[in-house]
Amino acid sequence: MIRGFYTAGSGMISQSRKLDVSGSNLSNARTSGYKKSEVTTASFSDKLIMKYEGLSLPSEIGSLSPGTRIDSVSSNLEQGGVIETGNPFNLAIQGEGFFTLTQADGTVGYTRNGEFLLDPQGYITDANGNRLMGENGPLNTGGRQFSVTSEGDVFVNGTEIGRLSIYNPADPTGMTRQESGLFTDVSGAGGKAFSGQIAQGSLEMSNVDVMEEMMAIMSSQRAFQACSQVAKMIDSTLAKTVEIGKIG
């Protein structure tokens, strides 16, 4: 019976994590370039149940699953819809790849969010001040308007100042989201040539399906409540067993 209590508990933990992930996806449904997170669950190894009667050989009754666990939380990198905004500071990647950003501490991160602006020093940055990287370093426009070709070449007043550094991971499964919201590549496989296009004056939308996430939340809530009820029933039964033991 105690084993059943832990089985129900593992289900509650798994469903709680699923609710967190779906909630995060919903809260970022309107975040440009956001890639939804997906949860993969796995079952603990089933236990074989045997029946022993006297000196006879044991007979198999069946198996018992000790519960489920979260196996992984990964990012779905499918392309989101691209809309035209007419804002020259908006860039969208059509195809595979990520914009490269340098953070304040010097570390590099990657993003699909193409909402950029100019900082007081004339650098192109994201909303958090991370600088957009070209192939030869951070891109500085001198505070002036710029244009970007479909190949990623950046021009100011007709003069090329660099080409966007688009990171195209050789192993997309290694792209891991950090607390900052940027991605890093933990695969160690490196990058490959960029074969997509850059669209200036456009933004890639989130690839979150709102209805799908709402259905996932409802399903996880029902599963969590069911596991919770099972745990309460087992707890109540155990409490009565202890009372009977005291009386005896």
- pLDDT (tens, 9 = 90+) of the chain, 248 residues, equals 466 656 777 778 888 888 999 999 999 999 999 999 998 876 555 555 555 555 555 565 555 555 566 777 889 999 999 999 999 999 999 999 999 999 999 999 999 999 999 999 999 999 999 999 999 999 999 999 999 999 999 999 999 999 999 999 999 999 999 988 899 999 989 999 999 999 999 999 999 999 999 999 999 899 888 888 877 777 677 666 656 555 55
The tokens for 100 are 């490269």
Asked if 66 and 107 sit in the same domain, the reply is: no
Asked if 200 and 238 sit in the same domain, the reply is: no
The pTM is what? 0.80
Please give the residue range of the domain that contains residue 26: 2-76+208-247
Asked if 171 and 220 sit in the same domain, the reply is: no
Q: What is the count of structural domains for the chain?
A: 2
Strand partners, 63: 48
Q: Please choose, from the candidates 145, 111, 147, 152, the residue with its C-alpha nearest in 3D space to the C-alpha of residue 128.
A: 111
Asked if 120 and 200 sit in the same domain, the reply is: yes
Residues whose CB is less than 8 angstroms from the CB of residue 113 and which lie 6 or more positions away in sequence, other chains included: 31, 32, 33, 34, 99, 126, 204
Q: Please choose, from the candidates 213, 234, 215, 210, the residue with its C-alpha nearest in 3D space to the C-alpha of residue 12.
A: 234
Orientation angle between helical segments 210-247 and 2-27, nearest 10 degrees: 160
Asked if 191 and 213 sit in the same domain, the reply is: no
